[in-house]
Structure 1
Amino acid sequence: MVEDDKHLIRAFIGSHVGEESVDDDVDLFASGYATSLFAVQLVMWVEQTFDLVVGGEDLDFANFSSVDAVAAFVDGKRATVGGGAWTSN
């Protein structure tokens, strides 16, 4: 994961959970920062921002529970789709 990508993830999450900064490993749902409605918004944002398709098998809170989890998910999807190459929209 390119640090710029992680910065984008941090900024999106921070702007939606009411915090300027959330540690990368904080569980957003367990800590009360995020709700299931935010999870839907996050999934849609990940699809649009990183040009990925999030399938039904990907819809697990563990994939979207923290900045680190989202970054790992995006990296994993990139690795399985097109060998990891990605360009910005």
Structure 2
Amino acid sequence: MSTHEKIRHYIESNLVTFDASEAPFTDDDNIFEKGFLNSMFAMQMLTYIETEFNLTVDNDDLELINFSTVNNIVGLIEKKQRGRSSA
């Protein structure tokens, strides 16, 4: 499963308000504006990202824009993975 698929699956399977037939979203849709994410879920997603992808999200990375879309989340993950491999 690709990183995109893992993130989408996590969002879709952990939100009780999510119904793909009623409120589909793309990888560029702002999941906060769509109402799919609240602060509690954001913290759960942060834990999932760190665990699933074996990385640490630094305080500097804790900006709303990094978690607002599937593509932005994947971009953050890829950035952290590149940083880890070049260290």
Which amino acid in the other structure matches residue 66 of structure 1? T
TM-score (norm 1): 0.81
Aligned residues: 81
Contact 1:50 1:74 in 2 (8 A): yes
Determine the C-alpha separation between the residues in 1 that align with 2:73 and 2:19.
17
Determine the C-alpha separation between the residues in 1 that align with 2:28 and 2:42.
16
Could you give the per-residue CA deviations for residues 17-55 of structure 1, whole angstroms, max 9, x where no partner exists? 323453111101112111111110111100000000011
Whether 1:19 aligns to 2:19 is yes
Contact 1:14 1:22 in 2 (8 A): no
What is residue 34 of structure 1 aligned with on the other side? 37
Q: Please list every run of 5 or more consecutive structure 1 residues that lacks an aligned counterpart in the other structure.
A: 84-89
Identity of counterpart residues, as a percentage?
Answer: 28
Which amino acid in the other structure matches residue 33 of structure 2? A
What is residue 71 of structure 2 aligned with on the other side? 68
